[in-house]
Every structure is written in structure tokens, then in C-alpha cells.
């Protein structure tokens, strides 16, 4: 996505005074990761992997721009097009996806109904997470997770903030469009938290390929079954598996002949082998490839790739 377009998409949802503070900082929006607003606290931008309090040039002893209740309310009005009620389902999940696939995380007082969050009231914090596609970030790993121009059942193992969603997004695109290593095929994506496609009004804002069908905002277990019945995909991709229901649906999809690309939070194969829900998958050798990520120099850094027996195929890509 064009950086200027990304900048316009973000700035238009900020309260005017907050927008001015961000504009005055002269930031490169290709490097902006988050804009954090907390009521009656300083305005913080995560820029080039570092926190910066705005404005950048402060007088000695100045706290920076303090976010007011009015600014928070104005920002939420822009984010929701003046109708927070219309976004009640998204708010219940803790975020709203805006044009461009950017996500605005929100926190406040939880309204409960039968011990489940029905809505949020008195929103006091907002975190605008800027979407960054990295086209081609899967180039190095694709030769190791394909065989005879078919993608293997692949599990991406990653600690938080190590780029697993960015990697799986580019894998989906490459498998869908096809290239030297893989023949293009139909891919079904269950995007429970709208992170992969970044759908806005039903249209994916991220490039996931020409043969990809996206089920947005649907629980993974239900979504996998729906995709099999409705779209008959060759490949199914899901992000952050973890529940017993996810695993059962995943195994069912494999039995139906679908190839799975999935991700899970973890440091390495040893850690996921010790998780009760995932240990059976590893023991039964359901996945043919395991891709382990780290973040030593940059997100999405590939630490190692293993086969279903746990044998090392490559490291340090």
C-alpha cells in the first residue's frame, strides 16, 4: 500500500488536535507501528520499534500531548462513523477494523451479560495498529514447505510480535496465486480477528491472492467446517489455533483432503509438544512442516524449519 494513502487513512480517524500532533512529528508512516491514546495520559507512538511521546520536541519538563476525554470521544466518532452502536459486535471483541485493514483496539468498562462481555462502555484507551503488508516475506521459506508444487501441512510457531501473521498472509498470497514452487490453488481463510485480510465492509484490504475466499469474523472451528461445505478449498489457512475445538476442526479438514496452514504461539517445537491440546498433533505427525520464528533483528525472522519427524531442514533464513 502507498505510504501516503496509509497516512491519510490513519490521520482521518484521529481527533483534530491529536492529528495535528502526529502531523507535526513528521513521521514516516511506513515505520509507524502503533498510535496509543490513553485518556489523561501522554500520546505515544511506536515508531521504528521504539516508543516516542508526542510532541517529539518538548520543552524541558513538559509531559507531551495529554489525551483528553473530548479527544478520545472525537476519535471514536471518526472510527465508528458517528455510530458506535453499529460496531457493537466488533467492540465486544475489543477492536474495530478501519479502511486499509488498520485495527483500532479499544478498552474501557466491560458490560457483562451471563458472564460474557456484551459491550464496552466509557472507552478510555485506543490503540491504532497500523497495518503493514510485507509482500515477498515468505520467499525464503516457501521452498522448504512445498513438495512437487504442492504446499505441505504447515504450522508456524512464533512468540508474540515476531511477524507470524505477516508471514502467513504472504504464504496465503503465494499459494493462491502460484509461483515456481507451488501451483496456484483455491485457499479458504478463516479470519476470526480480521488480521489476515483486514476486511473493511466485507472487502479484504490486504492482498491474499486471486483464488482466496475469506470468512471474516467467524470462530475458527465453525469457519473451517463452513469453508469445506461452501467453497471446497484445496488449502485452509487460520491464525492462532489453540482450543480443542480448533484442533478437532483442523483434523477434520485434513481428513477431508484439505491442506492446512496454521499458526500458534510458542517459542519452539518443544514448547508446543508440551501443550495438552497440541501434543497429539505433533505425536501423530499431522503437520509435515514446522516453521519457527524469532525477532532478533526484525519481525518474521525464520529461526528454523523442521519436518514432521522433527528433523532440521534449514535454519537462520
What φ, ψ does residue 94 adopt, rounded to 5°? 100, 10
Cβ neighbours for 114, distance < 8 A, ≥ 6 positions apart: none
User: Sheet of 301-307: strands edge to edge?
Assistant: 212-216, 187-191, 235-238, 259-265, 154-158, 289-294, 301-307, 312-315
CA 317 to CA 315: how far, in whole Å? 6
- Residue 7's CB is within 10 A of a number of other CB atoms, namely 18
pLDDT digits (tens, 9 = 90+) for 23-56: 999 999 999 999 999 999 999 999 988 999 998 6
Give the residue among 184, 241, 202, 43 at the shortest CA–CA distance from 125: 43
- 120 contacts 111 by C-beta, under 8 angstroms: yes
- 228 contacts 256 by C-beta, under 8 angstroms: yes
Q: Is the dihedral of CA 99, 104, 110, 113 positive or negative?
A: positive
Provide CATH 3.30.450 ranges for the chain. Answer: 3-129
Instruction: Classify 163 in phi/psi space as left (phi over 0), alpha (psi -120 to 50) or beta.
Output: left
pLDDT of 62 reads: 56
Cβ neighbours for 159, distance < 8 A, ≥ 6 positions apart: 265, 266, 267, 293, 294, 295
Query: To the nearest whole number, what is the mean pLDDT of the chain?
Result: 92
> What does the block give as the cell for 143?
521452498
Provide CATH 3.40.50.300 ranges for the chain. Answer: 142-315
For the chain, list residues with pLDDT below 70. 1, 56-63, 297-299
CATH topology of domain 142-315: Rossmann fold (3.40.50)
pLDDT of 64 reads: 83
pLDDT of 256 reads: 96
- Go through the chain and tell me how many residues it has: 317
Find out if CATH 3.40.1350 is the number for domain 3-129.
no
pTM here is 0.83
Vertex 267 angle, CA 138 and 153, to 5°: 45
Locate the DSSP E strands across 70-211: 95-97, 103-113, 116-129, 146-147, 150-151, 154-158, 187-191
pLDDT of 1 reads: 64
pLDDT of 43 reads: 96
Amino acid at each position: 500500500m502507498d505510504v501516503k494513502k496509509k497516512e491519510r487513512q490513519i490521520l482521518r480517524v484521529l481527533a483534530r488536535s491529536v492529528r495535528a500532533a502526529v502531523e507535526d512529528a513528521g513521521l514516516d508512516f511506513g515505520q509507524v507501528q502503533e498510535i496509543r491514546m490513553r485518556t489523561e495520559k501522554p500520546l505515544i507512538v511506536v515508531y521504528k520499534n521504539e516508543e516516542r511521546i508526542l510532541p517529539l520536541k518538548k520543552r524541558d519538563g513538559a509531559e507531551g500531548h495529554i489525551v483528553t476525554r473530548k479527544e478520545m470521544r472525537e476519535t471514536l466518532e471518526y472510527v465508528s462513523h458517528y455510530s458506535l452502536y453499529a460496531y457493537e459486535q466488533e467492540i465486544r471483541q475489543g477492536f474495530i477494523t478501519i479502511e486499509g485493514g488498520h485495527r483500532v483496539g479499544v478498552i474501557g468498562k466491560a458490560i457483562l451479560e451471563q458472564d460474557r462481555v456484551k459491550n464496552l462502555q466509557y472507552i478510555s484507551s485506543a490503540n491504532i495498529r497500523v497495518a503493514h503488508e510485507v509482500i515477498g516475506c515468505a520467499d525464503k521459506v516457501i521452498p522448504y514447505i512445498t513438495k512437487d508444487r504442492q504446499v505441505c501441512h504447515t504450522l508456524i510457531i512464533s512468540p508474540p510480535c515476531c511477524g507470524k501473521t505477516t508471514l502467513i498472509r504472504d504464504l496465503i498470497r503465494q499459494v493462491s496465486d502460484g509461483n515456481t514452487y507451488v501451483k496456484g490453488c483455491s485457499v479458504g481463510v478463516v479470519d476470526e480477528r480480521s488480521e489476515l485480510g483486514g476486511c473493511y465492509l466485507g472487502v479484504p484490504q490486504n492482498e491474499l491472492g486471486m483464488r482466496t475466499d475469506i470468512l471474516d469474523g467467524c470462530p475458527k472451528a465453525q469457519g473451517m467446517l463452513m469453508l469445506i461445505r461452501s467453497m471446497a478449498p484445496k488449502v485452509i489457512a487460520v491464525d492462532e489455533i489453540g482450543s480443542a475445538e480448533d484442533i478437532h476442526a483442523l483434523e477434520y479438514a485434513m481428513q477431508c483432503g484439505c491442506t492446512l496452514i496454521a499458526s500458534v504461539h510458542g517459542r519452539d517445537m518443544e514448547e508446543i509438544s508440551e501443550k495438552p491440546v497440541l501434543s497429539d498433533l505433533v505425536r501423530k505427525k499431522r503437520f509435515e512442516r514446522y516453521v519457527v520464528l524469532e525477532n532478533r533483528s526484525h519481525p518474521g525472522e525464520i529461526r528454523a524449519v523442521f519436518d514432521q519427524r522433527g528433523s532440521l531442514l534449514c535454519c537462520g533464513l
